[in-house]
Structure 1
Amino acid sequence: MKLALIFDRAFHAMADMHWRMLAGLILFHALSSWLLLAMAGESALQPPAVFFYWYATTAYTVGYGDLSPQGVAGRLITAVWIFPGAIAAFTTVVAKVLAGIGDIWRVRRSGKGDYSKMTDTILLVGYHPARTPKMVDELCAEFRGGQTLVLLTRQSATELDSRIRYVQSESLTSTAALARAGVANASRVLVYASSDADTLAATLAVAAAAPETAHIVCFFEDADNARLLAQHCPKVEAILSSGPEMLARAARDPGASQVITALTSHLDEGATLFSLTWQGAARPIGDLAQRLWGLRATLLAHQPTGAASPRFNPPRETGVEAGDRIFYVAAERLDQFGLEGS
């Protein structure tokens, strides 16, 4: 009974050790085992590679039986010293690894994970139970797992989406929470809070912490909030609710709402609206429109660098300069090289 108590206390003491201390004890036990077997005259187990193989199979409890001590002294040393120590070391390492994995899982599930080291992420700020999952579906369909999605929200998640990383904070403007969510390295940030006031505050916080190259998009119900944001963060793209306008358009032009919805969704089959920032040499937009037509795509609009809004149906002779953005409708996203082809 006392022996079992001693082993139990020893096991828990090893489990609470740091990795360096545990590695030192394992090394000490292996070296002392090798020396004891040498003193016992077990010459077959003395070569370092042979001893390592035998010691590892002993610790892993595999026990192939191809190597074993031959003398009485060597067998006693193995039974009393090597077996308990090697097996205890192996089980302790396994226990610590599993405990570490469990701690990481619990931290991430509670929203306390740290994703500040990740790069080129897509950060979603705020959560709407019906609309946020749809945004996740759209982003995953577009990027197909190529970028990591991180969600910063005030709500405690009960059912986590395996496609996103989760950060919980009492405030969407918290500098620490935004840092843990990886805002400093994000390539895109989508802000969709429960109210326009929260969206405005969160967007201002994001704009202050995100890199210059990050594309920030936010959603407002009220145009006044969008105008207020534009005064402080002109580079942020604000999306306004188009419910009344969509309703009126559908009444005047039946089917218009279905077309607009299809153009904005990557989940629906058929054409989808895309944009591309032109990086090549200047060329007439008519040439690009013809090239797009050959790729089964349709040019929709052209937005010159610095322009507040895109121009629809521009004249064919309009020049497209480096940095301009073109909008087109296609079944899939096209790249610069495809458009530069003859």
Structure 2
Amino acid sequence: MLLPRMKLAVIFDRAFHAMADMHWRMLAGLILFHAISSWLFLAIARETELHDPLTFFYWYATTAYTVGYGDISPQGVGGRLVTALWIFPGAIAAFTTVVAKVLAGIGDIWRIRRSGKGDYSKMTDTILLVGYHPVRTPKMVEELCAELNRSQTLVLLTRQAVADVDPRIRYVQTESLTSTTGLARAGAANASRILIYASTDADTLTATLAVSAMAPDAAHIVCFFDDADSARLLAQHCPRVEIVLSSAPEMLARAARDPGSSQVISALTSHLDDGATLFSLRWAGAGRSVGDLTQRLLHHRATLLALQPHGAETPRFNPSPETGVEDGDRLFYVSAARLSQPSLAGY
């Protein structure tokens, strides 16, 4: 007696897995066939109450969902036999198969993303982080998330396998930071901002060259170097990339000569504290004077630090009040929050 039961269980298990692996179109076709055949069988059994298509659909759906309100049911012996032998097994099996396929699909997507095999090439306005450092990368993520718009997504591209992925970022693993396939999956072609921070300057150099060839012209690319020679080499080939050089020796010397200066600079570069932060604003439209904008910034409890004219390589500190601010110029100011141009224009 036990052996036939085991064989029956194996048969049902194989049938269930076969249906779970079935293509959605094939599954939809089988469900449609079962529903139509069930309707025909009930019609032959003279179940007139279930003959109306909408009424039958309602009853068939509640039967498949295993809800069974009981407000409608077959009345004759033939209809009940059809329901017990054909409709119940088929409808419930179809419903459980659909649920299994949906849950399996969700699980597959979750596993793919957790393993770094996700594809975010169709996303737009993303912020892409290239390279991973176990200590510094999480800090960059915190800084970026402090001002992250709802429409923006953080994507991390790295060679390392990251076990504990921050839920706020999308994770892409690749064999090389210069891989066109990996950069494409990370959405480099549609990213609005790209940060490159690799383990070595050589990796940063090659990754930045690869990113620059794929990123859109409007994307702002920033990379970090310890060595000034590598930075100069990159600047010759990719002049639009903003290069951040390690300033640890200079900061150490400045802190020795001017105590507390390192704390001030650190506070200005971080947005995670309650103090003021350094921001920039690209001016667009009609020109204004530095003096006018300074007063407008003071109204918002902000201070103008520097002005970088459009096309200039370096900013000008403490510009005179008569200096004009034209379209494309960039303002650097210190404030507790980021300000928009409309807020300055309408103060």
TM category, shorter: over 0.9
Cα pair 2:45 2:79 within 8 Å, conserved: yes
Aligned to 2:124: 119
Whether 1:156 aligns to 2:137 is no
1:83 alignment partner in structure 2: 88
Aligned to 2:295: 290
Contact 2:128 2:188 in 1 (8 A): yes
Task: For 1:81 and 1:119, locate their aligned partners in 2 and report how far apart those are by CA, in whole Å.
Answer: 50
**Identity fraction in percent:** 78
Cα drift, residue 202 of structure 1: 0.2
Q: Tell me how many residue pairs correspond in the alignment.
A: 342
Please give the per-residue CA displacement for 1:242-274, whole angstroms capped at 9, x wherever unaligned. 101111111111111111000000001111111
* 2:84 partner SS: helix
> 2:106 maps to which residue?
101
Secondary structure of the corresponding residue to residue 146 of structure 2: helix
Counterpart for residue 219 of structure 2: 214
1:4 Cα shift?
4.3
Q: Does 1:186 align with 2:191?
A: yes
Per-residue deviation, residues 170-212 of structure 1 (Å, max 9, x unmatched): 1000000000000000000000000000000000000000000
Instruction: Give the counterpart of 1:69 among 71, 74, 91.
Output: 74
Alignment partner of 1:32 is 2:5: no
Query: 1:46 offset after TM fit, Å?
Result: 1.6
Which is further off, 20-29 or 39-48?
39-48
CA distance in 2, matches of 1:146, 1:78: 50
TM-score, length of structure 2 as denominator length: 0.97
Q: Tell me the CA shift for residue 112 of structure 1.
A: 0.7
Shift of 1:12: 2.1
The unaligned stretches of length 5 or more in structure 2 are: none
2:140 is aligned to 135
Deviation at 1:5, TM superposition (A): 4.3
5 Å-filtered alignment, 1:1-342, equals 1=4, 3-143=8-148, 145-342=150-347
* TM-score, length basis structure 1: 0.98
Aligned amino acid, residue 31 of structure 2: I
Give the deviation of 1:339 after TM superposition.
1.1
> Partners of 1:152 and 1:3 in 2: how far apart?
49
Secondary structure at the counterpart of residue 127 of structure 2:
strand
Deviation at 1:146, TM superposition (A): 4.3
Greater alpha carbon shift after TM alignment, 239-248 vs 39-48: 39-48
Q: Quote how far apart the aligned CAs of 1:19 are.
A: 0.3
Shift of 1:145: 4.7
Distance 1:133 1:145, change over 3 A: farther
Query: Secondary structure at 2:331's aligned position in 1?
Result: strand
Q: Alignment RMSD, CA only?
A: 1.1
SS at match of 1:260: helix
Between the aligned partners of 2:10 and 2:219, the Cα distance in structure 1 is: 59
Question: 1: distance between equivalents of 2:313 and 2:154?
Answer: 29
Question: Contact conserved, 2:125 with 2:151, CA < 8 A, in 1?
Answer: no
